[in-house]
């Protein structure tokens, strides 16, 4: 009988310890809502020089892996100066509870998987209009790739297209 009570007690303690585990409760990924002023900007999210995600037109959401490293969100739109903001990696809400309940093992697992980190859930980038000669140069060229131009040409020919792409 004592072994049954001992096993039940041990299972209860393990359940309590694991309930504080950020890997289980908070996950290792998150979504970030991105907006810009003006809307319709193309944004890239970079971490340590590596492109993590691209949002082709704001507003929208990106899905990222959580780590302890900050990310840089850079947005561009023809006729506007390119603008960037830093999204700092902070501690998730359950990190300190996990250290207390899960100890070094729980915290180590969360740290290794990124579950103890969290980025802002939303980011807004303000773009400033270009003035004078710079605005004229941007108007003369486009940020569109040859593939974008071909898709725009095809969307103009498609009478059933819900939206038209615009590329110069």
State which residues form the domain around 139: 131-168
> CA 44 → CA 73, 145, 153, distances in Å?
6, 16, 25
- The predicted pLDDT at position 78 comes to 94
What is d(CA 3, CA 168) in angstroms, rounded to the nearest whole number? 77
Residues 125 and 142 in one domain: no
Note whether 68 and 139 are same-domain residues: no
Identify whether residues 123 and 136 lie together within a single domain.
no
Distance in angstroms (rounded) separating the CA atoms of residues 71 and 52? 9
Q: Can you tell me the distance from the alpha carbon of 97 to that of 101, in angstroms, rounded to the nearest whole number? A: 6
Q: Render pLDDT for 108-124 as a digit per residue (tens, 0 to 9).
A: 555 544 456 889 999 99
Q: Is residue 89's pLDDT more than 70?
A: yes
Between CA 109 and CA 87 the distance in angstroms is 23
Q: Are residues 73 and 89 in the same domain?
A: yes
- The number of distinct structural domains making up the chain is 2
Confidence of residue 3 (pLDDT cuts 50, 70, 90): low
Helix (H) or strand (E) holding 137: helix 132-140
pLDDT tens for 17-75 read 444 444 444 577 899 999 999 999 999 999 999 999 999 999 999 999 888 889 999 99
Residue listed under structure tokens 């850079």: 74
**What's the predicted TM-score (pTM) here?**
0.58
Q: Kindly report the backbone phi and psi dihedral angles of residue 133, in degrees, each rounded to the nearest multiple of 5, phi listed first.
A: -60, -35
């Amino acid at each position: 009988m004592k072994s049954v009570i001992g096993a039940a007690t041990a299972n209860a303690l393990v359940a309590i310890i694991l309930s504080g585990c950020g890997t289980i409760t908070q996950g290792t990924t998150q979504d970030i809502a991105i907006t810009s002023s003006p809307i319709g900007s193309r944004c890239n999210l970079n971490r340590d020089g590596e492109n993590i995600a691209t949002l082709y037109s704001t507003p929208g959401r990106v899905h990222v892996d959580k780590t302890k490293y900050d990310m840089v969100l850079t947005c561009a739109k023809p006729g506007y100066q390119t603008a960037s903001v830093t999204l700092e990696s902070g501690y998730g809400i359950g990190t300190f509870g996990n250290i207390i309940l899960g100890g070094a093992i729980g915290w180590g697992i969360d740290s290794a998987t990124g579950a103890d980190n969290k980025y802002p859930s939303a980011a807004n980038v303000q773009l400033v209009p270009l003035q004078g000669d710079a605005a004229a140069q941007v108007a003369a060229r486009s940020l569109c790739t040859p593939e974008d131009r071909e898709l725009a040409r095809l969307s103009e020919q498609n009478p059933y297209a819900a939206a038209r792409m615009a590329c110069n």
